[in-house]
A and B are shown apart, each in its own frame.
Chain A
């Protein structure tokens, strides 16, 4: 089976004397058939750095990103143009991506012009209206307005309309719903699901909010300090996480149900947060100092991401980087 996108042993190291490993040996793939893959982790886990590398905005220290088998950093202009059309970004802040002096629809018009999507003005207009309807925006509430006259939710959906015009194969969405209102989030996520089901568009969904990843389904990759701790089908991982970090993370989701409150009081537990700079030495499990199940082995060498070997779990498609399962 060919893959749409392959991320191979990606590493990104920042800084000189004190080196910061933002991404440390991350590999995953997004399949050919339309899929949603969520990349979750807390701030500083490297998820946005991975997004920037995949978009070609940042050259990794080591590792490769292959799009349809071609390394995205060794490409010619023609290939580059195709890649830029087929892989589209949606960023976190629906305010700063617009130029406030132009009308909001300029983001659509530019795409139509640059990629020659329409032959006439009327055709361009029809395309814009179709794209707006595809993201549940009424053309009359958007066209002719300036960005500040639109709400955050509208602006973010307008970015999806722009993406829709391009009919990309892959959307890299970096925290796209964290700045839009609770009432609007579900609609935005539904559009991504529609894109996948009706238009064959895959999404790499980057978030710190596990409940949105849970809603989208598909696959999930759990990052911690630049490394993958666990990977699998979202539903399976959420129901039965294997890695102690994934277990901690998932049990800490504030479930919007007052009858399902957190059971254990973590406030004084051994899982207390480690301050930056304390964790030194990377040839070990990076979660060791917070892990309730830590063993001597965990300090000795880095656990590799492997298929989970656990009697408790019958799921085939699951990888865990933890000695408990190796």
Chain B
């Protein structure tokens, strides 16, 4: 079973190692859902264990992640840069979580949405872990959804 602590440890490791960004578990889930440019990344795990990992962050954090991944100046970051970087972040967090669930299993290609005017639902799953990391003052929400079938 993957715990919130496992998910937080993986998130800290990915942010710290690849992006040199510090983070810590935040008790407040203050990711505003009406943020127009918030990103939502999702990657599916299929096989012996079935489910998905959802990674959501603020526009500010999306731009910061893109800056660090691509070594860009703040003004150089495009929406595509944010989406590609959020996809890679989701892939890394999801891939490392996959290593903790019963295998064999495979990881899907990540998908990313930017915006807030949508409803997001993974039918047939239940939330099995949920953490909010505070990264440079910005919330990053990671949710592990496990298939109920």
Are A and B subunits of one complex?
Answer: no
